[in-house]
Amino acid sequence: MTTPKEHHPGLVVQNLPANLKLSNFKLIAFDMDSTLINIECVDEIADAVGRKAEVAAITEAAMRGEITDYKESLRQRVALLKGVTLADLEQIYQERLQLNPGAAELVATCKQAGLKVLLVSGGFTHFTNRIRDRLGIDYTRANVLEVADGALTGGMVDQPWGDICDGAEKRTMLLETCAKLGIDPSQAIAMGDGANDLPMMGVAGLSVAYHAKPAVRVQAQVAINAGGLDRLLEILA
C-alpha cells in the first residue's frame, strides 16, 4: 500500500495506477450537494422555515458517517421542511445555489473525452434536474419532494426504483449505468464528499473525494482538499 502523497498542494493521491488517463474511463459519477454545487440544498430549504441549524446538524452527522440510517435521517429532515413553498425553492436555486469551482470545466472535458456523466444525489430532483440541463448530464437519480398546493408536505414520493436515494442506491445506480453502457465499473470515476458516497466510490475504478469529510478522504484514491473539481485533470492526462 503506497503512502498517500501530496501530488500538488491540496491534492492527495494514494494507490493510484501509473499513467492513468481520462481516456481509460467511460463514465464519471458525481454527488451533487457540496460536490458539484456549493450548498446542501436540504439545509437551505430548511432556512426558509427557520430550521436550518436543526437540519444542518443532522446533515453534518449523516455526511460524517455518524448516522448509520441515512434514509431515516433524510425523512427526519424532510419532515421539517413542511410548508416551504415552490417559490422558496426557486429563490434558493436563483440566489444561493452555485456550481462549485471547476465543475462546468470538468464535466465539459469529460464529455469531450467521450465519457457519459451521471449525477446521483441524496438531494432532490427540483435541483438535480436543473443541474442536469445546465451541464448536459446524461443520467440522474435523486429524491422527489412531495408537493401539495404549491408547498412541501414534509414527505417524499416513492419512485419506480425505490423510496430514497441513499448510499446503497447510489452504488446500484452506478452499477446499473455501467451495465447499460456495456462497461466495467473499473471504467467509472466516482466523486463525492460524504459517507453516503462511499458505496459508489468503492465500486468505481477511480474514487475521488472533493473537500470531503475525513472518513471519505482517507478511503478515496484522490482527495482534492484545495481548489476546484477540475483539479482531477492534473492527475488524468
Domain assignment present for residue 55? The answer is no
Domain assignment present for residue 221? The answer is yes
Per-residue confidence (pLDDT) for residue 5, from 0 to 100? 56
Q: DSSP labels for 107-122?
A: HHHHHHTT-EEEEEEE
Catalytic entry in 31, 88, 197, 230: 31
Domain that holds residue 190: 5-39+99-234
Domain assignment present for residue 158? The answer is yes
Domain assignment present for residue 167? The answer is yes
Helix (H, G, I), strand (E, B) or coil at 153: strand
E strands in 20-132: 27-30, 116-124
Domain assignment present for residue 46? The answer is no
Per-residue confidence (pLDDT) for residue 6, from 0 to 100? 56
**Count of structural domains within the chain:** 1
Q: Distance of CA 235 to CAs 41, 91, 159, Å?
A: 30, 37, 38
Domain assignment present for residue 75? The answer is no
Per-residue confidence (pLDDT) for residue 81, from 0 to 100? 98
Give the number of other CB atoms < 10 A from CB of residue 167.
23
Residue 103 belongs to a domain with what CATH number? 3.40.50.1000
- The residues near 181 (Cβ < 8 Å, ≥ 6 apart) are 26, 27, 116
3-state helix, strand, coil in the chain (%, to 5): 40, 25, 35
Closest CA to 152 of 20, 226, 46: 46
Q: Is 227 left (phi over 0), alpha (psi -120 to 50) or beta?
A: left
Domain assignment present for residue 67? The answer is no
Per-residue confidence (pLDDT) for residue 1, from 0 to 100? 39
Catalytic entry in 33, 166, 193, 197: 33
* Residue 230 annotated to the active site: no
pLDDT string in tens for the chain (237-residue length): 344 555 578 999 998 888 899 999 999 999 999 999 999 999 999 999 999 999 999 999 999 999 989 999 999 999 999 999 999 999 999 999 999 999 999 999 999 999 999 999 999 999 999 999 999 999 999 999 999 999 999 999 999 999 999 999 999 999 999 999 999 999 999 999 999 999 999 999 999 999 999 999 999 999 999 999 999 999 997
* Residue 33 annotated to the active site: yes
Per-residue confidence (pLDDT) for residue 19, from 0 to 100? 85
pTM metric for this prediction = 0.95
